[in-house]
Amino acid sequence: MGASSVPPIAKSITVRAPIERAFKVFTVDPITWWPPAYTIGTSPMKAIVIEPRIGGRWYEIGEDGSECQWGDVLVWNPPHSLALAWRINLDWKFDPSLLTEVAVKFTDIGGGRTEVHLTHSKFENLGDRAAEALRIFDGWSSNLERYATFIEQTSERGT
């Protein structure tokens, strides 16, 4: 399927702000800069939360108060780096077993400026609708085989 060859997204941007501020703006109230169209909730976004610790949740809160989880914090190393798990599948739904990884590095480049480098990788973990459908049916087939074996064994015992 060529899924393993899906290249990561890599972006860099230089901001005229000290590293501490860059990290803070990125992680505290990201709703201030998040493009509003990029939501998976049904109601417009009111807030985005990144809980500031490893294992912390990353989620959006809709205007109706509903929460939609996006992922969680994998690395928390302020103000130098963080990594977030983005666990949204091909149907734009949260799937805790899916891992795609957003890694962000902040580098002080002097003069009160910070370079921010972001990579979003592991897209191969998204699998592929077709590949996944096949996998599910393979799973069903082996379940059926196990079931058949079980039936045969128990009926042998029964007779």
Partner 1 sequence: MANAPGAIAALADPTRRSVFELIAKAPRSVAEITRALPVTQSAVSQHLKVLKGAQLVSSEASGTRNIYRLDPRGIEKMRKWLDGMWDQGLASFAKHAERKDD
The verdict on 131 binding partner 1 (CB under 8 A) reads yes
* Residue from 15, 61, 99, 103 in contact with partner 1 (CB under 8 A): 15
109 contributes a contact to partner 1 by CB under 8 A? no
User: Which 58-87 positions form the footprint of partner 1 (CB under 8 A)?
Assistant: 86
Of 36 and 158, nearer to partner 1 (C-beta) is 36
- Beta bridge pairs of residue 60: 48, 68
Does 95 help bind partner 1 (rule: CB under 8 A)? Answer: yes
> Which is closer to partner 1, CB of 91 or CB of 156?
91
Q: Which two tokens stand for residue 144?
A: 């059926």
One residue of 75, 134, 144, 148 binding partner 1 per CB under 8 A? 134
CB-based contacts of 124: which residues, under 8 Å, 6+ apart? 3, 4, 5, 6
Three-class DSSP category at 150: helix
CB 46, CB 38: distance < 8 Å: no
Cβ 43 to partner 1, closest distance in Å? 19
Among the listed residues 111, 113, 100, the one whose alpha carbon sits nearest the alpha carbon of residue 74: 100
Residue type for 104, please?
V
> Mapping DSSP to helix (H, G, I), strand (E, B) and coil, where does residue 86 land?
strand
What character string, x for contact with partner 1 (CB under 8 A) and - otherwise, covers 17-56?
Answer: x---xx--xx-----xxxx--x------------------
Per the omega criterion (within 30 degrees of 0), is the bond before 7 cis?
Answer: no
In the complex, the residues that contact partner 1 under the rule CB under 8 A are 1-3, 6, 9, 11, 13-17, 21-22, 25-26, 32-35, 38, 86, 89-91, 93, 95, 98, 114, 116, 118, 120, 123-124, 126-137
